[in-house]
Amino acid sequence: MNWLNALLRRRPKVDPAPEELWIQRFLGSEVYHIKSAEWNLYRDKEDGRMNLWISVVCDRAIRQFEDTAYTDTIPSWELNLIEEDIVLREGLNASIPSGYDEGRRGWITNFYAGSHDGSDKNRISVIKCEGDRLFLRLTGLVVDPNFYDDSKPKAQITVETWFARNEEGARSMS
Protein backbone atom coordinates (compact mmCIF):
# COMPACT_ATOMS: atom_id res chain seq x y z
CA MET A 1 0.00 0.00 0.00
CA ASN A 2 2.97 2.36 0.48
CA TRP A 3 3.68 2.16 -3.25
CA LEU A 4 0.11 3.38 -3.95
CA ASN A 5 0.47 6.36 -1.62
CA ALA A 6 3.82 7.25 -3.21
CA LEU A 7 2.28 7.04 -6.68
CA LEU A 8 -0.66 9.24 -5.67
CA ARG A 9 1.67 11.89 -4.21
CA ARG A 10 3.67 12.02 -7.48
CA ARG A 11 0.60 12.38 -9.68
CA PRO A 12 0.35 15.94 -11.04
CA LYS A 13 -2.40 18.02 -9.48
CA VAL A 14 -4.87 19.64 -11.82
CA ASP A 15 -6.64 22.83 -10.83
CA PRO A 16 -10.42 22.70 -10.90
CA ALA A 17 -12.31 24.43 -13.65
CA PRO A 18 -14.76 27.17 -12.65
CA GLU A 19 -17.99 25.71 -11.30
CA GLU A 20 -16.34 22.48 -10.13
CA LEU A 21 -15.66 21.08 -6.69
CA TRP A 22 -12.79 18.59 -6.59
CA ILE A 23 -12.21 15.95 -3.94
CA GLN A 24 -8.68 14.57 -4.13
CA ARG A 25 -9.11 11.12 -2.57
CA PHE A 26 -6.59 8.33 -2.08
CA LEU A 27 -8.06 6.80 -5.28
CA GLY A 28 -7.70 10.00 -7.32
CA SER A 29 -9.92 12.99 -8.09
CA GLU A 30 -13.70 13.10 -7.92
CA VAL A 31 -15.31 16.10 -9.61
CA TYR A 32 -18.74 17.65 -9.00
CA HIS A 33 -20.60 20.45 -10.77
CA ILE A 34 -21.35 23.46 -8.55
CA LYS A 35 -25.01 24.49 -8.56
CA SER A 36 -24.53 27.51 -6.30
CA ALA A 37 -21.61 29.34 -4.70
CA GLU A 38 -22.62 32.08 -2.26
CA TRP A 39 -21.10 34.30 0.40
CA ASN A 40 -22.16 36.87 2.97
CA LEU A 41 -20.29 39.06 5.42
CA TYR A 42 -22.14 40.09 8.57
CA ARG A 43 -21.63 40.90 12.24
CA ASP A 44 -22.57 37.90 14.38
CA LYS A 45 -25.21 38.82 16.97
CA GLU A 46 -23.92 36.08 19.29
CA ASP A 47 -20.45 37.52 19.93
CA GLY A 48 -20.20 40.74 17.88
CA ARG A 49 -17.44 39.41 15.59
CA MET A 50 -17.52 39.44 11.79
CA ASN A 51 -18.50 36.23 9.99
CA LEU A 52 -17.61 35.52 6.37
CA TRP A 53 -20.11 32.80 5.46
CA ILE A 54 -19.25 30.75 2.35
CA SER A 55 -21.50 28.06 0.86
CA VAL A 56 -20.97 25.67 -2.05
CA VAL A 57 -23.77 23.35 -3.19
CA CYS A 58 -23.23 20.80 -5.96
CA ASP A 59 -25.96 19.25 -8.11
CA ARG A 60 -24.31 16.39 -10.01
CA ALA A 61 -21.21 14.29 -10.30
CA ILE A 62 -18.90 14.77 -13.26
CA ARG A 63 -16.48 12.03 -12.19
CA GLN A 64 -16.85 9.62 -9.26
CA PHE A 65 -15.35 6.33 -8.18
CA GLU A 66 -17.56 3.25 -7.82
CA ASP A 67 -17.34 3.29 -4.04
CA THR A 68 -19.11 6.67 -3.83
CA ALA A 69 -21.17 6.61 -7.06
CA TYR A 70 -23.62 4.00 -5.78
CA THR A 71 -24.68 6.30 -2.91
CA ASP A 72 -25.88 9.12 -5.21
CA THR A 73 -24.38 11.53 -2.67
CA ILE A 74 -23.77 15.04 -3.93
CA PRO A 75 -21.52 17.21 -1.73
CA SER A 76 -22.03 20.60 -0.15
CA TRP A 77 -19.58 22.66 1.89
CA GLU A 78 -20.04 25.53 4.31
CA LEU A 79 -17.25 27.59 5.86
CA ASN A 80 -17.50 30.39 8.42
CA LEU A 81 -14.47 32.61 8.92
CA ILE A 82 -15.06 34.36 12.24
CA GLU A 83 -12.74 37.26 13.13
CA GLU A 84 -12.88 40.56 15.06
CA ASP A 85 -12.77 42.39 11.74
CA ILE A 86 -12.75 41.20 8.12
CA VAL A 87 -11.99 43.48 5.19
CA LEU A 88 -12.74 41.76 1.88
CA ARG A 89 -10.10 42.64 -0.67
CA GLU A 90 -8.18 41.01 -3.47
CA GLY A 91 -5.20 39.16 -2.08
CA LEU A 92 -6.85 38.33 1.26
CA ASN A 93 -5.67 34.95 2.53
CA ALA A 94 -7.24 33.45 5.63
CA SER A 95 -7.39 30.09 7.32
CA ILE A 96 -9.74 28.07 9.47
CA PRO A 97 -7.45 25.48 11.08
CA SER A 98 -10.21 23.34 12.58
CA GLY A 99 -13.84 22.76 11.68
CA TYR A 100 -14.76 22.80 15.37
CA ASP A 101 -14.33 26.05 17.31
CA GLU A 102 -13.50 25.26 20.95
CA GLY A 103 -14.20 28.86 22.00
CA ARG A 104 -17.70 28.76 20.54
CA ARG A 105 -18.15 25.08 21.35
CA GLY A 106 -19.61 24.61 17.91
CA TRP A 107 -18.90 23.74 14.29
CA ILE A 108 -17.81 26.48 11.90
CA THR A 109 -17.35 24.25 8.86
CA ASN A 110 -19.57 21.53 7.44
CA PHE A 111 -18.77 19.21 4.55
CA TYR A 112 -21.60 16.93 3.52
CA ALA A 113 -20.96 13.90 1.32
CA GLY A 114 -23.15 11.18 2.80
CA SER A 115 -22.29 12.29 6.30
CA HIS A 116 -21.85 15.67 7.98
CA ASP A 117 -18.26 16.32 9.02
CA GLY A 118 -16.14 19.38 9.64
CA SER A 119 -13.31 20.29 7.31
CA ASP A 120 -9.85 21.11 8.68
CA LYS A 121 -6.82 23.06 7.46
CA ASN A 122 -9.12 25.31 5.42
CA ARG A 123 -7.64 28.08 3.28
CA ILE A 124 -9.65 30.94 1.80
CA SER A 125 -8.08 33.17 -0.85
CA VAL A 126 -9.83 36.14 -2.44
CA ILE A 127 -8.57 36.25 -6.02
CA LYS A 128 -10.90 38.97 -7.40
CA CYS A 129 -13.60 41.32 -6.09
CA GLU A 130 -16.23 42.70 -8.47
CA GLY A 131 -19.09 44.35 -6.58
CA ASP A 132 -21.14 41.62 -4.90
CA ARG A 133 -19.14 38.88 -6.64
CA LEU A 134 -15.97 37.31 -5.27
CA PHE A 135 -13.67 34.90 -7.06
CA LEU A 136 -12.46 32.60 -4.28
CA ARG A 137 -10.07 29.69 -4.00
CA LEU A 138 -10.98 27.32 -1.16
CA THR A 139 -9.14 24.27 0.09
CA GLY A 140 -9.67 22.01 3.08
CA LEU A 141 -9.19 18.47 4.36
CA VAL A 142 -11.98 16.02 5.20
CA VAL A 143 -12.39 12.40 6.16
CA ASP A 144 -12.56 10.30 2.98
CA PRO A 145 -16.20 10.29 1.75
CA ASN A 146 -16.42 6.50 1.85
CA PHE A 147 -14.18 5.70 4.84
CA TYR A 148 -15.62 7.52 7.86
CA ASP A 149 -13.50 5.42 10.22
CA ASP A 150 -10.41 7.47 9.22
CA SER A 151 -8.71 4.35 7.84
CA LYS A 152 -7.73 6.18 4.63
CA PRO A 153 -5.78 9.44 4.18
CA LYS A 154 -7.70 12.69 4.44
CA ALA A 155 -9.22 13.92 1.19
CA GLN A 156 -8.53 17.45 -0.05
CA ILE A 157 -11.41 19.59 -1.28
CA THR A 158 -10.69 22.36 -3.78
CA VAL A 159 -13.01 25.00 -5.22
CA GLU A 160 -12.04 27.95 -7.38
CA THR A 161 -15.03 29.86 -8.73
CA TRP A 162 -17.14 33.02 -8.60
CA PHE A 163 -19.36 33.44 -5.54
CA ALA A 164 -22.49 35.62 -5.51
CA ARG A 165 -23.53 37.54 -2.40
CA ASN A 166 -26.58 36.25 -0.58
CA GLU A 167 -27.47 38.80 2.10
CA GLU A 168 -29.64 36.19 3.85
CA GLY A 169 -26.80 33.67 4.06
CA ALA A 170 -25.69 32.86 7.61
CA ARG A 171 -24.02 30.17 9.69
CA SER A 172 -26.27 27.10 9.72
CA MET A 173 -24.63 24.98 12.40
CA SER A 174 -24.18 25.24 16.12
For residue range 128-138, list pLDDT tens digits in order. Answer: 999 999 999 99
Contact yes or no for 25/65 (Cβ under 8 A): yes
Read off the pTM. 0.86
Give every residue of the chain whose pLDDT is below 50, as ranges. 1, 3-14
Strand-strand pairing, 20-25 and 133-142: unpaired
Angstrom distance (rounded) from CA 174 to CA 169 = 15
